[in-house]
Amino acid sequence: MRRLIAVLVASLLTLVVSAGVAAAHAKLESMTPADGSSMAAPPTKVVLTFSEPVGANGTQVQVKSPNGTNVANGDVQVVDNTVTQPVGAMIEAGKYMVEARVVSADGHPITVTGSFTVTHEGHPATEPAGAPAQQPDGNSNTVTIVAMCLVMLVVVALAVVIVRRRPTP
């Protein structure tokens, strides 16, 4: 019986420690262009970097011009903890708002906002020559969390089977 209790306590401790890591939400570490920054030439993309990998499913980024038009152009690209949203022509001078929704590794949606200012109008966004395109990546830690839970269930089931097979003294 002591062995069963020891196995169950060790299993519970392992589950609690792993759930603590999984329960942490990703946090925005940086945004390019930087939040609150000002520039003469408009950017060709908005890059959000998070504290941990985020999932590609459900990720949305909008870049709104001063008049409220979404200038995001093309599919959002997610690679590990980096979210990249290409933008189209930014012909208006003024404040551009960035609104993003991503899904953290623990499955919780996270909303982030920021802004930057383009000081000169009429500059269409252009992609630098030879810039490599990043491929979307749907990596998520959800599979790892589910696998850990299944392993814990197997360990507990084996402990119960072992204890039941023992003859009572």
| Cβ neighbour number for residue 105 with a 10 Å cutoff | 23
pLDDT in tens, 45-85: 999 999 999 888 889 999 999 999 999 999 999 999 999 99
Tell which residue, 164, 51, 143, 36, has the closest CA to residue 98: 36
Question: For position 136, what pLDDT does the model report?
Answer: 41
Question: For position 127, what pLDDT does the model report?
Answer: 46
Domains of the chain and CATH, by start? 2-165 (2.60.40.1220)
Question: For position 168, what pLDDT does the model report?
Answer: 65
Average pLDDT of the residues in 2-23:
68
HSE toward the beta carbon, residue 89, CA cutoff 13 A = 6
Question: For position 66, what pLDDT does the model report?
Answer: 93
More confident site: 14 or 34: 34
pLDDT in tens, 105-159: 778 899 999 999 999 875 454 444 444 444 444 444 566 677 777 888 888 888 7
Residue 118 has φ and ψ, to the nearest 5°, of: -100, 125
Question: For position 64, what pLDDT does the model report?
Answer: 94
Note the pTM of the prediction, 2 decimals: 0.59
Count, residues in the chain: 169
Q: How far apart are CA 15 and CA 9, in angstroms?
A: 10
